Amino acid sequence: MRILLTGTSGQLGRSLAKALQDLGEVLTPQRAELDLSDVDSIAHYVQLCKPDLIINPAAYTAVDLAEKESELAFLVNAEAPTILAQEAKKLGIGLIHFSTDYVFDGSKSDANGERVAYTEEDACAPLNVYGASKLAGEQAIVNSGCAHLIFRTSWVYSDFGKNFLLTILRLAKEKTELNIVNDQWGTPSSTLFLSDAVKQVVLQLQSTEAHAVAKETWWQQHQGIYHLTPTGTTNWCEFSQRIVEHAEQLDLLSAPLPKIQGIPSSAYPTPAQRPKNSCLDKSKFNQKFGIQLPSWGQVLLSCLQGMASVKLQDPAN
């Protein structure tokens, strides 16, 4: 299987490249070869590659800057996926794409005002430009009629790149006190967790060949939008407390540790508004693919254990 994988200089793309390397030939163009903001060049590039599957974790992910750079955000997050989907349709291949909890406005609650997790059927109403651009990308893929899987995930982190986990580990060494938002709820997702789940899905797709099930049938049975994060929910403040706690146990941080205090979002204004409730219901993914999801706490611990073992081998890290 020839897989065209975008965005491999990013957090998720990098993990996917590692996870999928044994499943076939993985083509990993860098931005110089495939610039997704140069939409006229995308179709030509895909036709040259002749992939059997396209996986698109690349995205414009600067949520606050997107408020000012909406044209670029829409080019990369909506126009580029539109063309990838059209090309997938022409080639008769599938497209795996990633989207976000930010397609929702975070207001979903029950009659008692308790947070309720969003299902794939809930109405989208993004609060910011980034969310709107990602939603437009999703809609274009669905409308293109290509075989597709769209995984909406949230709060992505890894041992690499720009993310909340690495920011907290750095700040914990620099500061004695951290004030972290505690009224936005969701589920942190490591790229290791996400790429492992995607690998299992691609393996299921590949096994259709062994069982003589037509790939088209598999896509017809599985295509759609799925919520994909670990289980459980937390808020940014609790997430940072857990990061610091585990990091100390694993010798990634040493005492004195900073005091971590919760603050409301209103005390930490940002250019882009964020949803208060980012909790996603994952039962559709679980039922359709039969894959059990670990808790966000287990996933965090595995990520930090991986970082600790790298540090043990090379203390300069």
Catalytic entry in 45, 130, 157, 226: 130
State the DSSP string of 134-153: HHHHHHHHHHHT-EEEEEEE
The greatest distance separating any two alpha carbons of the chain, rounded to the nearest whole angstrom, comes to 61
- Is 58 among the residues that bind ligand NAP (CB under 6 A)? yes
Considering only 3-11, 41-49, 241-249, 253-261, which stretch makes contact with ligand NAP by CB under 6 A?
3-11
Separation of alpha carbons 5 and 56, rounded Å: 6
Least distance between ligand NAP and beta carbon 163 (Å): 6
Task: Find the length of the chain.
Answer: 317
Amino acid at 88: A
Peptide bond into 271 cis (omega under 30): no
Hunting for tokens 């590692």 — which residue is that? 18
Q: What is the DSSP letter of 248?
A: H
- 150 sits near ligand NAP (criterion: CB under 6 A): no
CB 167, min distance to ligand NAP, A: 12
Least gap, CB of 112 to ligand NAP (angstroms): 28
Asked if 268 is an active-site residue, the reply is: no
Total residues at the site for ligand NAP (CB under 6 A)? 25
Applying the rule CB under 6 A, the residues between 14 and 43 that interact with ligand NAP are 31, 34-37
- In the complex, the smallest distance separating the C-beta of residue 228 from ligand NAP, rounded to whole angstroms, is 10
Per-residue x/- mask for ligand NAP, residues 108 to 137, rule CB under 6 A?
--------------------------x---
Closest distance to ligand NAP from the beta carbon of 216 (Å): 26
Q: Name the residue nearer to ligand NAP (CB basis): 139 or 208.
A: 139
The smaller minimum CB distance to ligand NAP, of residues 34 and 135, is found at 34
Query: Which residues pair with residue 193 across a beta bridge?
Result: none
- Distance CA(74)–CA(13), nearest Å, equals 20
Smallest Cα–Cα separation from 182: which of 261, 243, 244? 261
Inter-residue contact 98 to 12 (CB < 8 Å) = yes
Please list the alpha-helical segments (H only) found in the chain. Answer: 11-20, 39-49, 70-74, 80-91, 129-144, 164-174, 191-210, 215-222, 236-249, 283-289, 296-313
Nearer to ligand NAP, 137 or 219 (CB): 137
Q: Which of 126, 161, 186, 275 binds ligand NAP (CB under 6 A)?
A: 161
**Which one among 3, 4, 5, 11 touches ligand NAP, defined by CB under 6 A?**
11
Q: Which residues are catalytic?
A: 130
Give the residues lining the site for ligand NAP (CB under 6 A): 7, 9-13, 31, 34-37, 57-61, 76, 98, 100, 134, 153-156, 161
